[in-house]
Amino acid sequence: MTGYALSAAPQKISSPKKNNTMLPRDDFIFTIGYDGPVAIIDSHAKRRYRGLSTRALTEKGLFRAAYASAVYAKDPGQIQSVADAYSSLTGTAVNLAAMDRLFGVFPVDVKRSMLL
């Protein structure tokens, strides 16, 4: 159980260091699936679009990657921005609760990745 103190004595639970319990940002953004505890990464998209901001990904029409970037950043403003851009393009109102399911993006505790 990651992040939980199991003993009765109070313990300080520190925040995980970057990339310690979660994939690096570009790996998370371009994950296309999981094989057990291993994230499968789209190497072509990662190589082509790595390092782009959430806004730049949205402007390029890469809504899934943009949404994953916003989720990784844990920034409600970015998440709303991606949802608004997607809604205006499709002409439908998309609520934020449905975005996770729509794009299949969920924060997952995965430490390993494999490039495809």
Helix %, strand %, coil % of the chain (to 5) = 45, 10, 45
pTM of the model: 0.77
Q: Where does the chain show beta strands of DSSP type E?
A: 31-35, 38-41, 112-115
The per-residue DSSP string of 24-52 comes to -HHHHHTEEEEETTEEEE-HHHHHHHTT-
Instruction: List per-residue pLDDT tens for the chain, 116 residues long.
Output: 334 333 333 333 223 344 445 789 999 999 999 888 899 999 999 999 999 999 999 999 999 999 999 999 999 999 999 999 999 999 998 888 889 889 989 888 888 888 98
CA distance 57 to 63: 7
What torsion do the CA atoms of 84, 85, 89, 93 make, to the nearest 10 degrees?
-10
Q: Are 19 and 91 in contact (CB under 8 A)?
A: no
Phi, psi of 71, rounded to the nearest 5 degrees: -65, -45
Nearest of 29, 60, 23 to residue 43 by alpha carbon: 29
CA distance 85 to 81: 6
